[in-house]
Amino acid sequence: MTSRHRQLLFVCTGNICRSPMAEYLLRHHLGPKTSWQVQSAGLTAVNGLTASQPAIDVLGELGVDLTPHRSCHVTKEQIDPATLIMVMTASHALELKQRFPEAKDRIHLLKSFDPSARGGDIQDPIGCEIRIYRRIRDEIDAALLDLILHMKRFS
């Protein structure tokens, strides 16, 4: 696999809060010259929805524009080429491994690379106050730093 073909897929439930925040934050950290293609999808997503307004707002606070995002339901066409598949909860991992057993070794909890987080879940902020979205954003952002270190192994 050449560096031009490295793909990372974030997966959550509806693909309107956690996984798009992770996708856009990671793209922001990696910059435009990255060799990684970063996408997101949802296990029960309805195709074509915008990100939730609070998710857009809290990423905007960091200078990251989430408005272009449109939700999509996770597909085999996304799973098969993915170098890494990052999920938000243990139940997401279990469901993905059941749907796509051939990808089980590439499915990881987002927080699994942070030794202090011990692979914990990132809770769904949908319907919560903006302060919860900020906490989830910051939790995702902190986990991305350890993920980026792991991604360097594929260089």
**pLDDT greater than 90 at residue 113:** no
- Tokens representing 99 are 């749907």
Which positions are catalytic?
12, 18, 124
**pLDDT greater than 60 at residue 125:** yes
Q: What is residue 98's three-state secondary structure?
A: helix
**pLDDT greater than 60 at residue 2:** no
Lowest mean per-residue pLDDT among 1-5, 56-60, 67-71, 133-137: 1-5
CB 55 within 8 A of CB 66: yes
Predicted local distance difference test score (pLDDT) of residue 154: 85
Which residues, including other chains, have CB under 8 Å from residue 36's CB and lie 6 or more apart?
Answer: 6, 7, 8, 30, 151
Residue-wise pLDDT tens digits, 6-65: 999 999 999 999 999 999 999 999 999 999 999 999 999 999 999 999 999 999 999 999
What percent of the chain has pLDDT above 90?
A: 89
Predicted local distance difference test score (pLDDT) of residue 3: 44
Predicted local distance difference test score (pLDDT) of residue 137: 97
Predicted local distance difference test score (pLDDT) of residue 114: 79
Query: What is the overall mean pLDDT for the chain?
Result: 94
Per-residue pLDDT averaged across 124-153, rounded? Answer: 95
User: Which pLDDT band holds residue 116 (cuts at 50, 70, 90)?
Assistant: confident
Predicted local distance difference test score (pLDDT) of residue 4: 56
Q: What is residue 87's three-state secondary structure?
A: strand
Spans of all domains in the chain: 3-154
Q: What is residue 11's three-state secondary structure?
A: strand
Specify the CATH architecture of the domain 3-154: 3-Layer(aba) Sandwich (3.40)
